[in-house]
Structure 1
Amino acid sequence: MSSPSTYCLTLAGPMLKRGFWLYVWRVEVPGGAEPWLYVGRTGDNSSPNAGAPYTRMGQHLGSLENQNALRKHLLAKGLTLAECTFHLISHGPIHPEVERPASAEERKARRAELMELHLPLRNEVGAYERDLAAALADAGYQVLNTVRWKPVGNPDQWGRVLAAFAKHFPKLEQAR
């Protein structure tokens, strides 16, 4: 058995804010190989919710089958999660979450109305998620996931998104 170690995680407070965010996980793997990237977004497909990147962080590495996509991709590559180092780069919120009624019964009663407000925002941010994953792959990064999404986003907003992530992924400068 190994002896206990101490680790430190720094979390920027704004990453707790609910809304429509884009994020990229950069996963450093043992042996110095190129890191793997995973591109994601907040903004549910099945409800009018748009959580915070902090919330998705734990879900991605957890054990719930419908929330742990990053974990599944890494295990499929034969990687041991405990041997990896994880970095989460988040950008947003691009849009705030639509109104979130305090009570569950009001949320249920207004679900259709709230989804109507939620869907255009989700579709726009989904387009940036797809385009960011493709741009990173085209720039030569190892991207774990392919994002399939039909809607398109706003070209001006996409330019701002690309510039924000290019600060952390310099090879994206070629895509600008």
Structure 2
Amino acid sequence: MSRTGLIGAIPDCEDDMSAQLHSLTLPGPMLRRGFWLYVWVVETPKGQMHYVGRTGDNSSPHATAPYTRMGQHLGFASNQNALRRHLREQQIEPEECVSFDLVAFGPLYGEVEKQDGLTRDDLMAKHTPIRNAVGALEKALAEGLAAAGYHVLNTVKWKHPHEVDGWNAVRAAFSERFPGLA
């Protein structure tokens, strides 16, 4: 079999695809490293679905930008592609979805900066309390969206309690896009 495309036939290809022009607009601030909360809004063949996440690693003292997580979530590295996995659990291939919208709020905190003389353990000691606070807000956001009737794909398991003032700020910010949270 061959596939015919813009440049002619390519032998031994079974897919027949039509080339289309697409566009992605990314706000510059989404490139800032730090601790962010985000919600993916996915228009799927089965309706709108949501995934709640955060930046700020569990296993390292790094907190990346939402832009970086965006590609990882839809990539193929099994330890990074949680959104792809959750969609597949719903029998949905990401490439079949109509659109993906990443709604991000942050940075709530900056990334812990590397400094001369600080070990990885020192950096983790600074990183962990921030990560725990943001993780608690991530859980509250996921639960709040689900309680408001949004289809949330993931369950956030976090044992630390969220701070009331922090949750109020997060809820107010995300309520602009998700009015059911208000």
TM-score greater than 0.5 by the shorter chain = yes
TM-score when normalising by structure 1? 0.91
Match of 2:107 among 77, 90, 93: 93
Q: How do residues 21-36 of structure 1 correspond to structure 2 at under 5 angstroms?
A: 21-30=36-45, 33-36=46-49
1:134 matches 2:143: yes
Q: How do residues 43-122 of structure 1 correspond to structure 2 at under 5 angstroms?
A: 43-84=56-97, 85-101=99-115, 110-122=119-131
Structure having the higher helix fraction is 1
Name stretches of at least 5 consecutive residues in structure 1 with no aligned partner: none
The C-alpha deviation readout for 1:37-59, integer Å capped at 9, x for no partner, is 00000000001000000000000
TM-score when normalising by structure 2? 0.88
Q: Aligned AA for 1:77?
A: Q
CA distance in 2, matches of 1:141, 1:10: 25
Q: Aligned AA for 1:91?
A: F
Contact map agreement 2:140 2:162 (CA 8 A) in 1: no
CA distance in 2, matches of 1:75, 1:98: 34
Correspondence for 1:18: 33
Contact map agreement 1:49 1:98 (CA 8 A) in 2: yes
CA distance in 2, matches of 1:53, 1:100: 20
Q: Runs of 4+ in structure 1 displaced over 2 angstroms?
A: none
Contact map agreement 1:19 1:96 (CA 8 A) in 2: yes
The C-alpha deviation readout for 1:76-105, integer Å capped at 9, x for no partner, is 10112112110000000000000135xxxx
Contact map agreement 1:34 1:142 (CA 8 A) in 2: no
Paired positions, count: 166
Q: Which has the higher contact order (CA 8 A, sep 6+)?
A: 1
Alpha-carbon deviation of 1:4? 0.6
Name stretches of at least 5 consecutive residues in structure 2 with no aligned partner: 1-15
